[in-house]
Amino acid sequence: MVLLIGGAVAKYHLKPLRVLQNKALRYISGAGYDADMDKVLENLSLLGLENLYKISASNYVYKNKSRFGVKLKHRLGLRGGDVAAELPKWTKVHSTMQARYAAAMQYNKIPEFLKQCTKFKKFNRDLKNFLLRNNMLRIGKS
């Protein structure tokens, strides 16, 4: 829950936690101080802080679908409809950083096949695998 709340804060607030994570992972992997963290995470098959936040936020929305108004949204056109969480009607800039708004935004960004999962364990496992696979694909392109 701490990652869910803290994950939506400004990037500079998370920097000390990210630095600590990077130091620990470099030590565990035996990589040098200047090693690329994406490669270190890939070698250890781990997710970084941002992806851990995505999992935490998406799991929170998935477990509390009734609070977030998660339902099938019908669209006109070729697509049948999407599952999406309703965003709170907040207009102030600082409100968009709050956990409820940020969690709903993260949930809406995940692919439809994940949102269609009926079991939480399957949703969680598939989301982790999807993020790991995407991270590795992103690293492979660079």
Q: Where are the domains of the chain?
A: 2-141
The number of helix segments (H) and strand segments (E) in the chain equals 8, 2
Q: Which residue ranges of the chain lie beneath pLDDT 70?
A: 1-10, 71-82, 86-97, 136-142
Sequence-distant (6+) residues with CB within 8 A of 138 are 38
Distance CA 32, CA 21 (A): 14
pLDDT at 39: 87
For 21-31, how does the pLDDT look when each residue is reduced to its tens digit (9 = 90+)?
899 999 999 99
Please indicate, yes or no, whether the overall pTM of this predicted structure exceeds 0.75: no
For 56-70, how does the pLDDT look when each residue is reduced to its tens digit (9 = 90+)?
888 888 888 877 777
Cβ count near 96 (within 10 Å): 14
Distance CA 15, CA 137 (A): 25
Distance CA 60, CA 54 (A): 10
